[in-house]
Amino acid sequence: MQEQDSSPTPLPGSKPKKPLDTVVKMALGVLIGSFSLIWGGMYLSRPDRSIPPYTVGSQVGHIVATHVPSDTTDQGIETLVKRFRKVGRQTHHFASMKIQPTTPGDPGGWYRRIVVYVFDDNGWAEAEMLKKYMAGDAAVAKNYKKAMRGYYQLQDQEEEGGLGPMPKADEVSDATRVLFKGRVTDPIPAELEPEDISISPL
DSSP letters spanning 139-168? HHHHHHHHHEEEEEEEETTEEEEEESSPPB
Sign, CA torsion 165/71/77/95: negative
Task: Note down the domain range covering 178.
Answer: 55-192
| Per-residue pLDDT of the chain in tens (202 residues, 90 and over written 9) | 555 555 555 555 555 666 667 777 777 778 787 766 765 555 444 445 678 999 999 999 999 999 999 999 999 999 999 999 999 988 889 998 999 999 998 888 899 999 999 999 999 999 999 999 999 898 898 899 999 999 999 998 899 999 999 888 766 778 899 999 999 888 876 544 554 443 333 4
Are 148 and 101 within one domain? yes
Q: 43 and 71, same structural domain?
A: no
Q: Which of 47, 67, 84 is the last residue of a domain?
A: 47
The confidence score (pLDDT) of residue 154 equals 94
Residue 8 covered by a domain:
no
3-state secondary structure of 86: helix
Overall domain count for the chain:
2
Identify the CA nearest to 85 among candidates 170, 168, 184.
184
13 assigned to some structural domain = no
97 in the same domain as 60: yes
Q: What is the DSSP letter of 8?
A: P
Give the pLDDT confidence score for residue 193 in this predicted structure: 55
Q: What pLDDT was estimated at residue 92?
A: 86
The verdict on residue 3 lying in a domain is: no
Rounded to whole angstroms, how far apart are CA atoms 181 and 188?
Answer: 11
Q: What is the separation of C-alpha 36 from the centre of its chain, rounded to a whole number of angstroms?
A: 24
Same domain, 106 and 26: no
Amino acid at 76: G
Residue 92 forms part of a structural domain: yes
Identity (one letter) of the amino acid at 44?
A: L
Q: Which residues, listed in sequence order, are joined to residue 155 by a DSSP beta bridge?
A: 113, 158
What pLDDT was estimated at residue 49?
A: 64
Do 138 and 184 lie in one domain? The reply is yes
Same domain, 76 and 36: no
Cα–Cα distance measured from residue 189 to residue 44, given in angstroms and rounded to the nearest whole number: 30
Please tell me the distance from the alpha carbon of residue 202 to that of residue 196, in angstroms, as a whole number: 18
Answer yes or no: do 161 and 118 share one domain: yes
H/E stretch holding 33 = helix 22-44
